[in-house]
C-alpha cells in the first residue's frame, strides 16, 4: 500500500496519480448509503443554520459545517458538505484506512498524520453543476503555514465519466505554485484560477471506476463539468497534513491511523 516510485514520479511531474479499485463493491455500496444519509442529515440541520448567498449560490453554515446547494434558483439539492466526517461516522472511520494513509505518508514525508479537511461532493443526476478551474492552495493559504503538505485523495463512490462530470486535472500545473486568481465581478472570483495562467490543453479527464482513488497536489489546477446523465456522481475528498495540526473548519486536532497526536 506504500507509495511506489512510479506514483511518486507521477505526482512530481503531473501533480496527481490514480489507484484503480482500491475499495471493493461492498465498501463502495456502504459509502453510497452513507452519502444518502449525510444528505438527509445536512438538509435537516440546515433548517437551523445560517444561510447566505455568494455568486447566486446558496450556502448554509451549521456550527463549523458548511453545506453548499446546487446553483439553480431555490434548489434543495446538496452540492458539497464540509467537513463530512463529523456528520456521518462511516466517513470518519474512512479517514483511518491504511489504503489512504500509506501513500499519504509517502507524499507528506511524515509517519504521523492528521486531517486537514474532508468533504462530500455530490453531483445529482441531470442537474449536478460543474466546478470551475481552481487550485486548493489559495483557499487554504490564510489558514495554514504548510500548504505544500496538504495532498488530496478523491475517492470515487460512483463511476466517473466525461458525461457525468469526472474530475479534470491540468497536468503539470502544480509546478508553477499558487497561480493568480480571476479578477471579474464575481464575489469568489479570486478563488478561481486565471485561465491565462495555465495551459488548458494539458487538462486530462480522469474516468475511473467506483472505489478508485485519485491523489493530487493542492497546487494542481483542477475542475469538472456538469452531470448530464441519469445517475449520480459522488465523491469523498480527504486532505491530510503532518500530525499535530488542527483541522481546517473545526479547529480541533483529528489524528489519523491510531497513532499519537504529535509527530
- For 202-254, write each residue's pLDDT tens digit: 999 999 999 999 999 999 999 999 999 999 999 999 999 999 999 999 999 99
Query: Once rounded to an integer, what is the mean pLDDT over residues 120-142?
Result: 95
**In whole angstroms, what is the distance from residue 168 CA to residue 173 CA?**
12
Confidence of residue 72 (pLDDT cuts 50, 70, 90): confident
Query: Once rounded to an integer, what is the mean pLDDT over residues 135-160?
Result: 97
Q: What percent of the chain has pLDDT over 70?
A: 98
pLDDT of residue 11 exceeding 50: yes
Query: Once rounded to an integer, what is the mean pLDDT over residues 54-81?
Result: 94
User: pLDDT tens, 150-168?
Assistant: 999 999 999 999 999 999 9
The label of the residue with cell 434558483 reads: 73
Classify 109 as helix, strand or coil: coil
Task: Evaluate whether the domain defined by 5-242 bears CATH number 1.25.40.10.
Answer: no
Q: Are 100 and 238 in contact (CB under 8 A)?
A: yes
Confidence of residue 262 (pLDDT cuts 50, 70, 90): very low
Nearest to 25 by CA among 158, 161, 203, 118: 158
Q: Where are the domains of the chain?
A: 5-242
pLDDT of residue 260 exceeding 60: no
The pTM of this model reads 0.96
CA dihedral defined by 17, 21, 23, 26, rounded to 10 degrees? 160
The label of the residue with cell 461492498 reads: 26
Cell numbers placing 172: 503539470
pLDDT of residue 259 exceeding 70: no
Query: E strands of the chain, at which residues?
Result: 16-19, 50-54, 57-62, 65-69, 78-82, 113-123, 131-134, 152-156, 167-170, 203-205, 213-216, 222-224, 233-242
Mean pLDDT of all residues in the chain? Answer: 95
Query: Once rounded to an integer, what is the mean pLDDT over residues 112-127?
Result: 96
Q: Is the dihedral of CA 116, 140, 142, 131 positive or negative?
A: negative
Query: Once rounded to an integer, what is the mean pLDDT over residues 31-46?
Result: 98
Q: For strands 65-69 and 213-216, give the pairing.
A: unpaired
Query: Once rounded to an integer, what is the mean pLDDT over residues 37-47?
Result: 97
pLDDT at position 37 is: 98
Amino acid at each position: 500500500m506504500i507509495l511506489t516510485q512510479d506514483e511518486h514520479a507521477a505526482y512530481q511531474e503531473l501533480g496527481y496519480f490514480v489507484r484503480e479499485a482500491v475499495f471493493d463493491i461492498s465498501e463502495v455500496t456502504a459509502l453510497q448509503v452513507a452519502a444518502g444519509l449525510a444528505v438527509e442529515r445536512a438538509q435537516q440541520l440546515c433548517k437551523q443554520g445560517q444561510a447566505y448567498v455568494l455568486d447566486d449560490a446558496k450556502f448554509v453554515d451549521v456550527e463549523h459545517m458548511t453545506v453548499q446547494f446546487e446553483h439553480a434558483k431555490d434548489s434543495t439539492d446538496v452540492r458539497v458538505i464540509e467537513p463530512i466526517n463529523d456528520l456521518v461516522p462511516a466517513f470518519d472511520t474512512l479517514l483511518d484506512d491504511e489504503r489512504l494513509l500509506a501513500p499519504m505518508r509517502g507524499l507528506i514525508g511524515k509517519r504521523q498524520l492528521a486531517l486537514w479537511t474532508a468533504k462530500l461532493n455530490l453531483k445529482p443526476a441531470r442537474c449536478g453543476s460543474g466546478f470551475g478551474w481552481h487550485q486548493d492552495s489559495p483557499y487554504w493559504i490564510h489558514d495554514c503555514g504548510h500548504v505544500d503538505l496538504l495532498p488530496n485523495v478523491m475517492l470515487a463512490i460512483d463511476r466517473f465519466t466525461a458525461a457525468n462530470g469526472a474530475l479534470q486535472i491540468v497536468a503539470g500545473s502544480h509546478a508553477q505554485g499558487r497561480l493568480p486568481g480571476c479578477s471579474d465581478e464575481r464575489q469568489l472570483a479570486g478563488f478561481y484560477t486565471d485561465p491565462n495562467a495555465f495551459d488548458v490543453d494539458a487538462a486530462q479527464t480522469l474516468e475511473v471506476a467506483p472505489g478508485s482513488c485519485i491523489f493530487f497536489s493542492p497546487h494542481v489546477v483542477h475542475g469538472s463539468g456538469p452531470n448530464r446523465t441519469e445517475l449520480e456522481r459522488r465523491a469523498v475528498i480527504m486532505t491530510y497534513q503532518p500530525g499535530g495540526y488542527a483541522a481546517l473548519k473545526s479547529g480541533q486536532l483529528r489524528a489519523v491511523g491510531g497513532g499519537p497526536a504529535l509527530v
